[in-house]
A and B are shown apart, each in its own frame.
Chain A
Amino acid sequence: MARTPLYETHVRAGAKVVDFHGWDMPIHYAGIVDEHKAVRTAVGLFDLSHMGRVFVRGADRKKYLQKLLTIDVGAMPHGRCKYTLLLTEQGTVIDDLIASEDATRDESFLVVNASNREKDLDWMRKHAAGFKVEIDDATSRLALVALQGPRSVDCVKAVLGIDPSGLKYYTFGYFDVLGPKCLVSRTGYTGEDGFEIFCPADLAQKVWDAFVAKGAPFGLRPIGLGARDTLRTEASMPLYGNDIDDQTTPVEAGLGFALSDKVDFIGRAALDRQKTSGTARKLVGFHMEGRRIARHGMELWAGGAKTGVVTSGTWSPSLEKSIGMGYVKPEHATGAIEVDVRGKREKAAIVAMPFYKRPKSPK
């Protein structure tokens, strides 16, 4: 089993630990709903050191990454982070990731799903032939500690003595983190403001302890993967393996914003064909009428017949409703549907996503 540098800390804090794709990770400490609410109202502290982190360097790095990524790599200004995908020639998803452009260090920084890291690296290495590039898997060298919530800026200022408020959302910079300069990005998977701190693995304990020791005035709580899932579902952010996988395309999943129409990349032709001909299914979001939770794999029904399947579902502590996402036939993409919950069809209503949007705060 793989463990992050902070494993012992989580155990001592009373975390419920589970096997997450070969990693011993905390699923919750105090409880999923309590932790979820802490992120929405104050600030939560996450250990995400299981995520794959890869640097790409070399003279051909932009040309090479353009082949693999769905965004306009050449047009990315220094300091910018973008959500993007790795696709097959058929346009289906290998992984979703955040790609960042560092013109100063002349490198790209990719953050990929822990569950797909090996698969992504195989794909990247396979397609590196003929390009002058270096693929540097920095996953075990770096820890990833995240702060998410409306009090993130104030908390980071007080705990680390740095001011990240100048970072626009989805940009990064290098900051002094208790000594060494570390990459800090204003990104996250919760729908809240926040920061992801990429520090050397042997600094992780010091960083975590500093936040725990000085974060109390901001309502800081440690957050497990259980609340990470309820938070991202509320924000309608897809999870690989649930809402997107190697059988679905970003067009079906409504991820058009991550697809550039100015550049070519592996899978582009297939997506263009799909955009012209239309898709056989569409990812939608829904509220359940009752409190039973729609879970991955449950059938979706409309017009008296099966129309699709639930991909993600959970309890929304912010809305106090059961919410979910799933694929349906395009003709059923609005209005009433039913979810087959263990043999009983429960009523649900399709709604616009995201389910939750954070209130606009003054800068």
Chain B
Amino acid sequence: MARPADAKYTETHEWVKLGTQGEATVGITDYAVKQLSDLVHIELPKAGETVEQGSPFGEIESVKTVADLVSPVTGKITDVNTKLSDNLDTLKESPYDGGWIVKVKVNDPAEVDALMGAKEYQEFLEQSEEEGGDEGGDEDVDEDDIV
């Protein structure tokens, strides 16, 4: 999947696109969705809640595991994609578009400069696969969770 060049990426596999008026759109990457596999549930925040860069703002749960949704920006949530709850397939089909999770009015747009571009993120993924081998996002899979 070609990743949007106008988005920034985090090491915890979220993406953020900055709009022209300091409002950001946030989601999770295709890599995250693929690692999770078999999505079951998303715990979404509510509009009006504040978020902080690096802090969890929700959860995404799959059959195997549950992962925090970590905010790439600091600000106030203005909109939540509540349709996702009944249609998690959108995250698989369109993680960078229809699969957006929250919109945030960011306090300081310059905050995203510290995040990775699409190319950097791809290099980060390749490096992680090399170092971690097959482990990828499966550190959370406990051998007792499977037969």
Q: Which residues of A contact B (CB under 8 A)?
A: 16-21, 27-28, 31-33, 115, 189, 225-226, 228-230, 232, 239, 241-242, 290-293, 295-296, 314-315, 322, 342
Contacts and interface: CB of A to CB of B under 8 A. Distances in A.
Contacts of B147: 189, 225, 228-229, 232, 239
A292 B41 contact: yes
Contacts of B144: 239, 241-242, 296
**Across the A-B interface, the 5 shortest Cβ-Cβ residue pairs:** A291-B41, A225-B146, A228-B147, A32-B38, A315-B40
Interface string B121-147: 000000000000010001001111111
B40 A293 contact: yes
B138 A20 contact: no
A208 B98 CA distance: 41
B118 interface: no
A189 B64 CA distance: 19
- Of the candidates B41, B43, B143, the one having the most CB atoms from chain A within 10 angstroms of its own CB is B143
A255 B64 CA distance: 27
B47 interface: no
Given A17-B134, A18-B138, A293-B66, A32 B37 contact: yes
A293 B134 contact: no
Given A17-B134, A293-B61, A315 B146 contact: no
Given A27-B64, A226-B38, A228-B146, 16 more contacts: A16-B37, A16-B134, A17-B134, A27-B146, A32-B38, A33-B38, A115-B143, A226-B146, A241-B144, A291-B40, A292-B61, A293-B63, A296-B144, A314-B63, A322-B40, A342-B66
Contacts of A239: 144, 147
B143 A18 contact: yes
Contacts of A18: 134, 138, 141, 143, 146
A19 B40 contact: no
Contacts of A322: 40
A292 B142 CA distance: 18
Contact of A230 (B37, B63, B138): B63
A291 B37 CA distance: 16
B41 A31 contact: no
Interface string B38-71: 1011010000000000000001010110100000
Interface of B: 37-38, 40-41, 43, 59, 61, 63-64, 66, 134, 138, 141-147
Contacts of A296: 142, 144-145
Chain A contact surface mostly:
mixed
Nearest to B141: A18
Contact of B146 (A20, A31, A342): A20
- Of the candidates B37, B61, B143, B146, the one having the most CB atoms from chain A within 10 angstroms of its own CB is B146
Contact of A32 (B41, B63, B142, B143): B63
A115 B144 CA distance: 10
A292 B60 CA distance: 10
B17 to A, nearest CB: 28
A52 B136 CA distance: 29
A73 to B, nearest CB: 26
Nearest to B143: A20
A10 to B, nearest CB: 12
Contacts of A20: 143, 146
- Of the candidates B59, B64, B134, B138, the one having the most CB atoms from chain A within 10 angstroms of its own CB is B64
Contacts of A314: 63
A96 to B, nearest CB: 12
B145 to A, nearest CB: 7
A242 B37 CA distance: 23
B64 A32 contact: yes
Contact of B37 (A31, A290, A295): A31
A19 B64 contact: no
19 contacts: A18-B134, A20-B146, A27-B138, A27-B141, A28-B37, A31-B37, A189-B147, A225-B146, A225-B147, A229-B147, A242-B144, A291-B40, A292-B41, A292-B61, A293-B63, A314-B63, A315-B38, A315-B40, A342-B66
Contacts of B146: 18, 20, 27, 225-226, 228-229
Contacts of A295: 66, 145
Contacts of B134: 16-18
B141 A315 contact: no
A314 B38 CA distance: 11
B138 A16 contact: yes
Contacts of B37: 16, 28, 31-32
A115 B143 CA distance: 10
- Of the candidates B37, B63, B64, the one having the most CB atoms from chain A within 10 angstroms of its own CB is B63
B143 A19 contact: yes
